[in-house]
Amino acid sequence: MTPINPSFRRRQFLVGGGAALFLAGCSSAGSSTSSNTSTGTAADPAITSTGGTTGATTTADSVAPTTDGFNPLWIPPTLTGTDLQLTIAASTVQYKDGAATATLGYNGEDFWGPTLLMTKGSTVRLNVTNQLDEETTTHWHGFHIPAEMDGGPHQTIAANGGTWSPTFEVKNNAATFWYHPHMHEQTWSQLNRGAGGFIIVQDDEEAALALPRTYGVDDIPLMLTSRSFDSDNAFVLTEVTPYGDEMLVNGTLKAEATLPAQLVRFRILNGEIERVYNLGFEDGRTFHVIGTDGGLVNAPVPVTRLLIAPGERYEVVVDLGTDAVGSMVSMQSFNGGQTFGFPGGEDAGSGQTFGSTLNNTTFDVLRISVIAATAEAITTLPTTLANNTYWTAADATNERTVTITDTGPGTPFTFDDQGYDMEMINQTVTLDTVEQWTIENGRVFSHSFHIHDVQFALVSRSTGPVGEHENGWKDTLYIFKDESVQFVAKFDDFASTDHPFMYHCHMANHEDGGLMGQFLVVPA
């Protein structure tokens, strides 16, 4: 078997190296229209990407294929501007010999979609066109926006050409967000086929810092997931196979990134259905967390391992400055020997119930091949990154508890014994209230709790101290089996008596199974 990278097909279109403009809205399934342009200089204060034409996509993917079975990491092209067209369509990827694998992508990509670049304070309009023969939605994960613009299960986009056009001010801090389907009971299916994309928000505070910021060169988005393939090369999706047997990074099988010998920033998204990653490097090197879901942390946090649950993002910086040009180092996930209830800790072995060859073991996530440093390399991390003041328990003027429940082995997980019902409002919050939410998980398994609308401060874990690296704005948290956690958030700006926000487990199989509730933020 020769796994083929999605970008391999794209590369065949790279004639003459010219920057081919992608015509927004004119995508067709399976076409490969990404251009291959070099990136700009690292001196730009804003994130660097070429082809800054409004509505245009560019890509920094210009890495030569490798010869020993690894595939060059695909870097999604960027899409900039304030009036953006996103079109989701069916496609295929030739991952294996034989039949192509059916996939979904946005704007002509075969799997995943362009990276949207947005600036804090700007007002954006998105036109999302659905070329699928099924309904979908597009959720702007982590964004603080009105509920009717949020892209949850109520904002469906009609099949076969429907368009939804939300508009909102970008109020979030500079950070890494993502967009993905949030279709009622179809999130797993649509995510599994590859629908999603990154959003990078930029702001003046982040831009003033000497951080790696050249997209695709020293600033690399990494969407981590895995898939299993059936005998016809289709992605497997059954109730007992939420874990894939093969690692995909940005949709690339057995990915290798060619990176310069300097500080490199990774914007890591766990895009899995269920697996949690316990990330590190094969040589045990220390790396630094610089950002959580909703923004920069106040100071870099050194780590050697980093747990990241589905839906979570961490921005990290790894120092390749002392790695020899031509050397290799692998990012790995150290998922062996975890305690019972760790998602992906079940016994390895494809075909077993909930099994996967990547379960309960250490496996390669991304191979890094080191090349010479760039001319304007960042070589030292700033000691101070931000000056956030986080909410504390003392700030909260209202409290509520949400409990993860089920009715016994084999039954779906629910919140408070109530499966998700589109017609039921589970919580009502008064606008401008600072609330403390306690999430109780006494059940058999760990989960990934995500709440829309707000960025919260994680204030306590019953199992021990909140990790230093978690001390930042977050919208998603990993909750262990038999744990309760508390977070504090202010529910400001957007009230509605009609349009709810969601809170749910970001393990898409659990979400689709009913582990989701909805809340209204009502006027005071």
Residue closer to Cu ion by CB (options 42, 505) is 505
**Closer by beta carbon to Cu ion, 193 or else 447:** 447
CA distance 64 to 329: 18
Which residue, 309 or 377, is less far from Cu ion as judged by CB? 309
Shorter beta-carbon distance to Cu ion: residue 20 or 507: 507
CB of 219 to Cu ion, least distance (A): 31
Tokens of 269: 């998204």
> Rounded to an integer, what distance in angstroms lies between the CA atom of residue 152 and that of residue 158?
14
Q: How far is CA 6 from the centre of its chain?
A: 19
The residue type of 484 is S
User: Closest approach of Cβ 270 to Cu ion, in Å?
Assistant: 13
- Please report how close the Cβ of residue 413 comes to Cu ion at its closest, in angstroms: 6
Shortest distance in whole angstroms from residue 493 CB to Cu ion? 28
95: DSSP letter: -
- The smaller minimum CB distance to Cu ion, of residues 309 and 520, is found at 309
When the beta carbons of 291 and 311 are compared against Cu ion, the nearer one is 311
CB of 308 to Cu ion, least distance (A): 15
Residue type, 474: K
Distance CA 259, CA 381 (A): 17
What CA–CA distances, in Å, run from 230 to 30, 152, 227? 21, 31, 10
Quote the least distance from Cβ 443 to Cu ion, whole Å: 9
Q: Least distance in Å: CB of 242 to Cu ion? A: 10
Contact criterion met (CB below 8 Å) for 398 and 286: no
Which of residues 444 and 522 has its CB atom nearest to Cu ion in the complex? Answer: 444
Q: Are 473 and 457 in contact (CB under 8 A)?
A: yes
Per residue, the 3-state secondary structure of 491-523, as one string, reads ECCCCCCCCCEEEEECCHHHHHHCCEEEEEEEC
Is 96 in a helix, a strand, or coil?
coil
Residue numbers of the site for Cu ion (CB under 5 A)?
447, 505, 507, 510
Minimal distance in Å, beta carbon 424 to Cu ion? 19
Least separation in angstroms between CB 356 and Cu ion: 17
Q: What angle do CA 418, 420, 426 make, to 5 degrees?
A: 70
Tell me which H or E stretch contains 189.
Answer: helix 187-192
Closest to Cu ion by CB, 245 vs 272, is: 272
Q: How far is the CB of 449 from Cu ion (least distance, A)?
A: 8
Tell me the DSSP string of 310-365: TT-EEEEEEE-TTSPTT-EEEEEEE-TTPPTT-TT-SPB-TTSTT-BTTTTSEEEE
> Which residues, in sequence order, are CB contacts of 40 under 8 Å at separation 6+?
48, 49, 50, 214
Least distance from Cu ion to the Cβ atom of residue 338, Å: 16
Nearer to Cu ion, 120 or 447 (CB): 447
Phi and psi (nearest 5°) for 512?
A: -65, -30
User: Are the beta carbons of 396 and 436 closer than 8 angstroms?
Assistant: yes
Q: Which residue lies nearer to Cu ion by CB, 367 or 452?
A: 452
Q: What are phi and psi of 115, to 5 degrees?
A: -85, 120
Question: Nearest distance from residue 506's CB to Cu ion, in Å?
Answer: 7
Nearer to Cu ion, 274 or 323 (CB): 274
Other C-beta atoms closer than 10 Å to the C-beta of 498 total: 9
Distance, in Å, from the CA atom of 337 to the CA atom of 305, rounded to the nearest integer, reads: 14
428 to 62, 182, 448, 484, 500: CA distances (angstroms):
50, 21, 22, 21, 9
Residue whose CB is less far from Cu ion, 203 or 511: 511
